Structure 1
Amino acid sequence: MSLPARLAFSDVDETLIDCKSMFDFLDHYLAARYGPQGLRRGRRVREELTALAAGGTPREETNRIYYREWAGEPAGAAAEAGRAWFAERSARTGFYIGSVRDALTRHRAAGDGVVLVSGSFPAILDPIAADIGATHLVCSRPEVRGGVFTGGLDGEPVIGEEKRRAVRALLGRHPWIDPAHCYGYGDHASDLPMLTEVGNPVVVGDPALAELLPGARLLLLDGASAAG
């Protein structure tokens, strides 16, 4: 197999898929495992974290709070539930944002490495990465002891500046790749650190964000594009 000449980095939630996967999966998991009580708990978590974010709590902190909700849950059960969640959700029209999935498919066909970069976690992301043929997955990693989530993280949440560090670290392991030739796909201001590390940033669906990146391409949700 030839070595890739470029890497294409992509956020996941509301960039590649049309949902906030962490909340959607938490609802799915808790409802299946604990019934109506679990579903109410999932909704409570969503409401509390949404309120914190609206009040200015950094995404890095809300990410950590989210994973505390997984304390005591078996990692194997979460992985199994993630496969079931993906099979159910991906069968629905509109799960993938078609313009981004098509772009990543073209990258793969050109021999580029595809890298998913997300604050979500492997139970959710592994099936997506396998389905689109991603060569690397960089994400938040819940801490596991004795097969059970502790509620902590191994390392930092992959949000904001951590995305920049992740891109630099991966490029450091591929010294023959010029960052100026690489691509990045994101939809939110927290993706800016990642997008500014590559020569070809692509903003998904947000003209205001594209204006912050001179030369960025704006990828509209209907598949059209415009120069930034």
Structure 2
Amino acid sequence: MNGYRTAFFDVDGTLTTAPSMFRFLRHYLSAVGHPPTEYISRRRELKAMNEVGCPREATNRAYFASLEGADAGEVTALAEDWFREELRAGGFFHEHGVAALRRHQQDGTRIVFVSGSFPAVLDPIAEHLGADEVWCTEPEIAWSRYTGNLHRPPMLSAAKAETVRAVAAAHGTTPEHCIAYGDHISDLPMLRTTGTAVVVGGDKVLRTHARIHGWSLLPAAPVPPALDLPLWHTGRTGSLAAVTNEVKEVESV
């Protein structure tokens, strides 16, 4: 692992066992008073977009459009609550990805997250793992509320590769002296930009590229444990057992 100036990490599925954006969305919707069916409905809409071939950038934009009007301070506070619950429950972090990150930190390598998620969700993760920088999708906030729009294109695909080049240049190095980790096809441009790449999990396209280019492989993240969600509008906590199967169905995007 010695010799890398910067290690670029995707987050969801690479360092975590679960998609942070959706785990948080369930927590957020429940906390502000929505029934479990609201999350299921929103997740099904995004899944349907994926199934008809919409690019991931489009589903990412749709996710943030659904946050239109949300109070930014409340989102940040609830994201911190959500992350504390993930830590309490355990099993949120992918041990192989985190072990690689820790080795790079021991070598003095700069750790940079490059993720399609957003600051409210990523900041607690970055602080916990000790990341040096976070580059991600940036929702537009006006008058302390999410507008439903983005400041710039989502941090996916080509945007990840552009970020690698920009960060490397800013720190006086080149992508060839860096390493990248990713688990999804949208990470491929980033993986192809750095001098060394590591594929996490079983994505067939990424594994084909790994064989061709001699990239390393790490195991896929295990299935995360279920979380008890805050039902603050009823003053109690529930496991939502009655909708477990529906949630599992919509999570399979």
Structure-2-length-normalised TM-score: 0.82
Which amino acid in 1 is paired with 2:11?
V
* Structure 1 residue 26 corresponds to structure 2 residue 25: yes
- Distance in 2 of aligned mates of 1:222 and 1:34: 31
RMSD, aligned CA = 1.6
* Alignment gaps of 5+ in structure 2: 223-253
What stretches of structure 1 move > 4 A for 4+ residues in a row? none
SS of 1:185's partner is strand
- Distance in 2 of aligned mates of 1:157 and 1:95: 24
SS of 1:123's partner is helix
* Structure 1 residue 217 corresponds to structure 2 residue 213: no
SS of 2:62's partner is helix
SS of 1:196's partner is helix
1:222 Cα offset (Å): 7.9
How many residues were matched structurally? Answer: 217
Q: Equivalences for 1:84-163 in 2 at 5 Å?
A: 84-163=81-160
- Distance in 1 of aligned mates of 2:14 and 2:7: 13
- Distance in 1 of aligned mates of 2:114 and 2:124: 14
Checking the alignment, whether the CA contact within 8 Å between 2:119 and 2:136 is kept in structure 1 is: yes
1:5 Cα offset (Å): 5.7
Q: Which residue of 2 aligns with 1:226?
A: none
SS of 2:11's partner is coil
SS of 2:193's partner is coil
1:172 Cα offset (Å): 1.7
- Distance in 1 of aligned mates of 2:106 and 2:45: 42
Among 70, 78, 83, the alignment partner of 1:81 is 78
Among 177, 186, 189, the alignment partner of 1:190 is 186
SS of 1:50's partner is helix
- Distance in 2 of aligned mates of 1:109 and 1:157: 31
* Alignment gaps of 5+ in structure 1: 224-228
SS of 1:34's partner is coil
Structure-1-length-normalised TM-score: 0.91
Checking the alignment, whether the CA contact within 8 Å between 2:141 and 2:147 is kept in structure 1 is: yes
- Distance in 2 of aligned mates of 1:43 and 1:22: 14
